[in-house]
Amino acid sequence: MDRTNSPVLVTGGAGYIGSHAVLSLKDAGWPVSVIDNLSTGFRFAVPEGVPLYQGDIEDGALLERIFAEQGMGDGRGAIMHFAGSIVVPESVADPLKYYRNNTAKSRALIESAVRASVPHFIFSSTAATYGIPEVSPVSEDAPQSPINPYGWSKLMTERMLADTACAHAINYCVLRYFNVAGADPDARSGQSTAGATHLIKVAVEAALGKRDHVSVFGTDYATPDGTGVRDYIHVSDLAAAHVLALEALIDAPERSMTMNCGYGRGFSVLEVLDALDRLTGEAVERRFETRRAGDPDSLVSDPSRIRATLPWTPRFDDLETIISHALAWERRLGEISERQAVNG
């Protein structure tokens, strides 16, 4: 495959998952550029040599310039779309923000791609589109019944892509993430957002003294130890799946795909915290609190389709490996913050 003829624009490429996709693309020899408004992303997350355009994905004139400068359009290139808002409680409190950032702006981005004839589109979706599944593991054919505006905002974009692909010369891949965690194994990038709510991020912050405890929401779930069970996927394995999906879209331009991204097995909150304690040799403080509304007992993917469709072999399918990489990044992030403080 001639990668040099397929430039890739990564939206939200200065954020957590987007920056790992940029690393995977760059490592594999793809020409890659980034658009990010830096509202939640970080300049330091974009590797040296990768063009970063600071701006918004609904800015059609900026996108037109990017496509021209990066050699995209007229049947060449691809978009990997990660830009958006991701905090579920915030989506309940401020739904219009999510319908603007995740739905309306995605519509503008898709329209720009169609106008320029950018032929391939990979979309960062979520298991939140399933709502509270009746069956676990969850397959792609499970009913999609989101229980919050975040899930709905992503599902609407999935629908827009499907309808657009029927009307225009564009194919797409929707990847529905389960619980993304970990960091680049070489500590080049990781979860850097202040006040993040993901369990492993919160736990490693507590282990390093950045928080004084970890809240455990609910101990009466129908799971072996009473705490919620989730399918944790290493962010670098997820990024690798995006690159393989891109290759599949290019190889079969008449085909579009929707696939879950997970390992197909889950760990409870207490199992995650126990694994962290083993790695650090110290017990992180746990505070047991009431359930949060809408949290399912167990949310585990059925990854059969992605394994049958793509030559995807996860490299980091191990809970302690995921946590150890998150710990290493958290330490590195502290060094970056100190250096930035010194340099003003």
**pLDDT, tens only, 210-266:** 999 999 999 999 999 999 999 999 999 999 999 999 999 999 999 999 999 999 999
pLDDT bracket for residue 293 (50, 70, 90): confident
Is residue 279 pLDDT above 80, yes or no? yes
Distances (CA, A) of 201 to 2, 8, 42, 150: 38, 29, 17, 20
> How many CB atoms are located within 10 Å of the residue 153 CB?
26
pLDDT of residue 128: 96
Q: Are 101 and 39 in contact (CB under 8 A)?
A: no
Q: Which CATH superfamily is domain 3-180+232-262 in?
A: NAD(P)-binding Rossmann-like Domain (3.40.50.720)
User: Are 320 and 281 in contact, with CB atoms under 8 Å apart?
Assistant: no
Q: Summarize pLDDT for 301-330 with one digit per residue, the tens.
A: 999 999 999 999 999 999 999 999 999 999
Burial class (CB in 10 A: 0-12, 13-18, 19+), 280: middle
CB of 173 within 8 A of CB of 245? yes
For this structure, is 150 an active site residue? yes
What does the pLDDT read at residue 294? 80
pLDDT of residue 12: 98
Catalytic residue among 99, 150, 177, 232: 150
Give residue 338's pLDDT band: very low, low, confident or very high (50, 70, 90).
low
pLDDT at 5: 74
Q: Which residues contact 153 (CB under 8 A, 6 or more apart)?
A: 84, 91, 98, 99, 101, 102, 103
Q: Within its chain, how far is the Cα of 1 from the centroid?
A: 26
Work out the end-to-end distance of the chain between its first and last CA atoms, rounded to an integer number of angstroms.
Answer: 45
| Cis status of the peptide bond prior to 137, with omega within 30 of 0 | yes
Average pLDDT of the chain, as a whole number: 95
Considering the entire predicted model, what is its pTM?
0.96
Coil, strand or helix at 52: strand
Whether the predicted pLDDT of 344 surpasses 60:
no
pLDDT at position 292: 85
pLDDT digits (tens, 9 = 90+) for 168-179: 999 999 999 999
Over residues 202-213, the mean pLDDT reads 96
Strands 52-54 and 32-36: parallel
Predicted confidence at residue 339, as pLDDT, reads 64
User: How far apart, in Å, are the Cα atoms of 66 and each of 9, 59, 96, 243?
Assistant: 8, 11, 28, 21
Q: Which pairing describes strands 267-268 and 229-230: parallel, antiparallel, or unpaired?
A: antiparallel
Q: Could you give the CA distance from residue 245 to residue 259 in angstroms, rounded to a whole number?
A: 10
Distance, in Å, from the CA atom of 130 to the CA atom of 128, rounded to the nearest integer, reads 5
Locate the domains of the chain by residue range: 3-180+232-262
What is the percentage of the chain residues whose pLDDT exceeds 70?
Answer: 97
Q: What pLDDT was estimated at residue 236?
A: 98
Q: How confident is the model at residue 342 (pLDDT cuts 50, 70, 90)?
A: very low
Please give the pLDDT value at position 231.
98
Assess contact for 45 and 189: CB atoms under 8 A: yes
DSSP conformational letter for 330:
H
Contact 238, 177 (CB under 8 A): yes
Answer yes or no: is pLDDT of 341 > 50: no
Tokens of 166: 């029927």
Instruction: Report percent pLDDT > 90 for the chain.
Output: 91
